[in-house]
Structure 1
Amino acid sequence: MIGIVDYGRGNLRSVEKALEKVGFEAVIMASSNELSKVKGLILPGVGAFADAMEALKHGGWIEPLIEFARSGRPFLGICLGMQILFEVGEEHGEYAGLGLLAGRVVRFPAGRKVPHMGWNSLELEQSSRLLAGIPNESYFYFVHSYYAEPAEKGDIIATSDYGVVFPAVVGKANVWGAQFHPEKSSPWGLQLLTNFGEWVNEDDTLSSY
């Protein structure tokens, strides 16, 4: 079973339907008390970094999410859900994120139209089970005005280019993030969700965060 975190900041039903389409059972969770019931977790998100963190704090999610990551179970952040995996976001000031990945989230430089919206290709920087079977330069659907700057270059799995090269997929141990929306990125987005679901269904997880 894959849990989808409901904290009022994500396209929950579209993620759930995409998982169901590729054959994986998912549940939308409104309370962190349900985390013990799931083997994998997706943290979606749209909107502003600070608002998302405030919503997670208000809902009592922050410490349970950190503990989930430490448990070794697969954890995937999508779009804003990927950004708040990092330590700091610079949208409308500086705000602390979950701190599961080292680095900051910054705005696209002046001269770029924001939000960055539409289809962009990925450049695979290293092999990853999350991107297994997905060819280099495959296209995915993005909607974002900010992007991550990981402190550890080894956490960058794939990049994309919007006048500046930015991380499109990041990962460390069992914690992963996709800047794009896999649920809107058929067929390769569905392949990514398939890879994640297969990982969740394995008896043994990777080393924990």
Structure 2
Amino acid sequence: MITGIVDYGVGNLGSLAHSLREYGEIRLLDRPADAESVDRLILPGVGNFANCAVRLHDTGWWSELLDAAGERKQPLLGICVGMQLLADFGHEGACGADDVGVSGLGLIAGEVRHISDLGCTFRVPHVGWNSIRLPNGAQGIFSDIPDKTDFYFVHSYAFDVTDQGDIIAVTDYGIPLVAAVRKGQVWGVQFHPEKSSKAGQRILKNFIAVESC
């Protein structure tokens, strides 16, 4: 199995690639045309939603990811802002008084909103270790991961998911926040698995084991 990490000029991908190497061949992909040469894709993301969306468009990855997840049905895992980009819209970095949001990939229905707008009164950003709840039990990329396992989070915005059935993990930070999503072969985690010790390694290992449709 070959796993491709989407390199669209956002963040240092070294630690993620290092975390994956013991589970098979890893390729850093800086050309969208190379996506068809791998079995599955990981979309990382750090910083600002709008900036990451622009980078995906400018580098040609936007349409390629839609093809990969749609027509080719390659398993796709979004991490942190990479998960948020799976949404219909994101409000981080949106301009103008009428904030209608910046378009996301639209692979999982919902919007990405500031956690204070969702009702959180705790300190922002949400940084550090926090436990997760698994409403559907330990399955998929959460196989063999117990309820209340801790993962490492760094974020100020959260995915407000339209269909509750697409939510596979939740974390509590004053209010429930979506920690992971899934729709078909498309997965997303708000936390950083590469920074989440053994539990994070298990997430990555489980994703690599996911079979293509």
| Cα distance between partner residues in 2 of 1:64 and 1:50 | 18
**Cα deviation code 1:138-184 (max 9, x no counterpart):** 00000000000111100000100111101101001000000000011
**Cα deviation code 1:79-118 (max 9, x no counterpart):** 0000000000011321000110100000011632121110
- Partner in structure 1 of residue 113 of structure 2: 106
- Tell whether the 8 Å contact from 2:51 to 2:93 is kept in structure 1 after alignment: no
- Tell whether the 8 Å contact from 1:86 to 1:97 is kept in structure 2 after alignment: yes
TM-score by length of 1: 0.93
- Partner in structure 2 of residue 168 of structure 1: 179
Deviation at 1:197, TM superposition (A): 1.1
- Partner in structure 2 of residue 29 of structure 1: 29
- Partner in structure 2 of residue 14 of structure 1: 15
Deviation at 1:11, TM superposition (A): 3.4
- Tell whether the 8 Å contact from 2:127 to 2:155 is kept in structure 1 after alignment: yes
- Partner in structure 1 of residue 166 of structure 2: 155
TM-score by length of 2: 0.91
- Partner in structure 2 of residue 139 of structure 1: 150
In the alignment, structure 1 residue 2 sits paired with structure 2 residue 3:
yes
Q: Give the fraction of aligned pairs with identical amino acids, expressed as a percent.
A: 44
Give, as a single letter, the amino acid of the residue that structure 1 aligns with 2:126.
H
| Cα distance between partner residues in 2 of 1:171 and 1:11 | 25
| Cα distance between partner residues in 2 of 1:57 and 1:31 | 13
Give, as a single letter, the amino acid of the residue that structure 1 aligns with 2:40.
G
**Cα deviation code 1:14-35 (max 9, x no counterpart):** 11100013x2211111110101
Q: Choose the corresponding residue for 2:201, options 177, 190, 201.
A: 190
Give, as a single letter, the amino acid of the residue that structure 1 aligns with 2:55.
A
* Paired residue secondary structure (1:168): strand
Give, as a single letter, the amino acid of the residue that structure 1 aligns with 2:31.
S
- Tell whether the 8 Å contact from 1:11 to 1:46 is kept in structure 2 after alignment: no
Give, as a single letter, the amino acid of the residue that structure 2 aligns with 1:30.
D
| Cα distance between partner residues in 2 of 1:10 and 1:24 | 22
Number of aligned pairs?
201
- Partner in structure 1 of residue 65 of structure 2: 65
Extract structure 1 runs of 4+ deviating beyond 6 A: none
* Paired residue secondary structure (2:88): strand
Q: Which runs of 5+ in 2 are unaligned?
A: 95-100
